[in-house]
């Protein structure tokens, strides 16, 4: 075996900086990407091994005392990429190292339709979602059980390949992901047969969802970690729920207020009455005063929708619509005529224009 000092061309009492400087010079000349010959490749291995031994104080001391030294921790061949990168790119920059197979999973978006009655106090749903989940066979390792990834022989586990590129400044070393292992530094020699080496599979799973009170159409809820599982056992992405509130046949919504219309018979409007309204969260009794008019709005406090942010609820607003009968029996007509005679009505006269019922309801509902 050649003497390590002779291989590097330095004296036996050379300082560490002299040894490093000699190694850099020889590595530039003999690196396989610059000098692809077989003889240069063997010389490069010798130079690298000699430097590994002499740059380590303990191994150098053992070598100087007559031991072989250096074979345990040396990087024979192309394994010593830390020093190689330092040689070509300067101290302190080093290799970026292989990239991880584990990646974060993708986010998912689901549109969830809920009823108006469900958003008053909020609701719970168990959603069935088709998504990516961790493979149970390999538990996300990508390998068939009993096997593990093996180091890439092409890049020596670094995940990077260096090449010399000629430029105006001379030969410049560039680094790119290894094409054999795709930059991972390892190769899945025996992929899991269940997930084909992905570490995850498509499956249906149940996602429990608590829809908060007060949500409205267009609101998006974020559920961290409930999205797709990442490759190779990577963390899950997030799940986003886009809410759509279904249209109700009776009630409509204005912010956190509930709106509806109560049809009242003419006699009840004249005499007054008590009406029971089936609200979304239970019955409500309304007192109709004598002489109530179409377009009047009765407000029931705190019977609307719970505020999405903060405490309290909106109101229930009930618009009165007085029904004028179109068909009367003989007895009914007689009674109405008697009422008209008692009230001594005068002939109809022109007066100030009054807007229609729906316009008045809009103004009163919306303030």
In angstroms, rounded to a whole number, what is the distance separating the alpha carbons of residues 301 and 276?
16
Instruction: Return contacts of 41-45, CB within 8 angstroms, 24+ apart.
Output: 45/76, 45/77
Ligand-binding annotation for 152, yes or no, is yes
Q: Is 138 annotated as a binding residue?
A: yes
- The percent helix, strand, coil of the chain (3-state, each to 5) is 25, 30, 45
Provide the Cα torsion 259, 263, 267, 268; round to 10°. Answer: -40
Query: Coil, helix or strand for 53?
Result: helix
Known binding residue 192? Answer is yes
Whether residue 142 is annotated as binding a ligand: the answer is: no
Burial (CB count <10 Å: 0-12, 13-18, 19+), residue 151 = middle
Please, what is the angle between helix 38-54 and helix 57-64, to 10°? 100
**CA distances (Å), origin 336, targets 265, 267, 322:** 14, 10, 16
Residue 260 assigned to a binding site: no
Q: Residue 143 annotated as binding? A: no
Is 178 labelled as part of a ligand binding site?
Answer: yes
Is 195 annotated in a binding site? The answer is: yes
Joined together, the tokens standing for residue 154 give 């092409």
Query: How many residues in the chain?
Result: 367
Q: Give the residue ranges of the annotated binding site for Zn(2+).
A: 135, 138, 152, 155, 178, 181, 192, 195
């Amino acid at each position: 075996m050649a003497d390590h000092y002779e291989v590097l061309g330095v004296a036996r009492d050379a300082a560490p900086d002299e040894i490093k400087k000699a190694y850099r010079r020889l590595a530039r000349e003999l690196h396989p990407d610059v000098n692809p010959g077989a003889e240069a490749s063997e010389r490069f291995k010798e130079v690298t091994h000699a430097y590994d031994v002499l740059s380590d104080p303990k191994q150098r001391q053992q070598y100087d005392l007559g031991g072989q030294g250096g074979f345990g921790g040396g990087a024979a061949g192309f394994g010593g990429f830390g020093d190689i990168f330092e040689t070509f790119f300067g101290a302190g920059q080093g290799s970026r190292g292989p990239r991880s197979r584990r990646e974060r999973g993708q986010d998912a978006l689901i549109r969830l339709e809920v009823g108006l009655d469900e958003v008053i106090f909020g609701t719970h749903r168990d959603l069935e979602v088709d998504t990516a989940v961790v493979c149970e066979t390999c538990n996300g390792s990508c390998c068939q059980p009993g096997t593990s990834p093996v180091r890439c022989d092409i890049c020596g586990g670094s995940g990077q390949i260096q090449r010399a590129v000629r430029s105006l400044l001379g030969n410049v070393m560039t680094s790119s992901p290894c094409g054999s292992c795709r930059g991972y530094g390892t190769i899945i020699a025996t992929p899991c047969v269940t997930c084909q080496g992905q570490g995850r599979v498509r499956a249906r799973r149940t996602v429990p969802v608590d829809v908060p009170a007060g949500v409205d159409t267009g609101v998006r809820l974020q559920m961290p970690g409930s999205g797709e599982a990442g490759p190779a056992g990577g963390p899950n992405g997030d799940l986003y729920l886009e809410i759509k509130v279904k249209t109700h046949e009776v009630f409509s919504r204005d912010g956190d207020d509930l709106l509806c219309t109560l049809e009242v018979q003419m006699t009840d409007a004249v005499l007054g009455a008590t009406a029971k309204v089936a609200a979304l969260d239970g019955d409500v009794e309304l007192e109709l005063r004598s002489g109530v008019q179409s377009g009047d709005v009765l407000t029931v406090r705190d019977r609307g929708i719970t505020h999405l942010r903060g405490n309290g609820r909106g109101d229930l607003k009930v618009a009165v619509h007085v029904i004028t009968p179109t068909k009367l029996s003989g007895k009914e007509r007689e009674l109405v005529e008697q009422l008209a005679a008692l009230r001594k009505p005068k002939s109809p006269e022109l007066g100030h224009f009054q807007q229609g019922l729906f316009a008045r309801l809009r103004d009163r509902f919306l303030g």
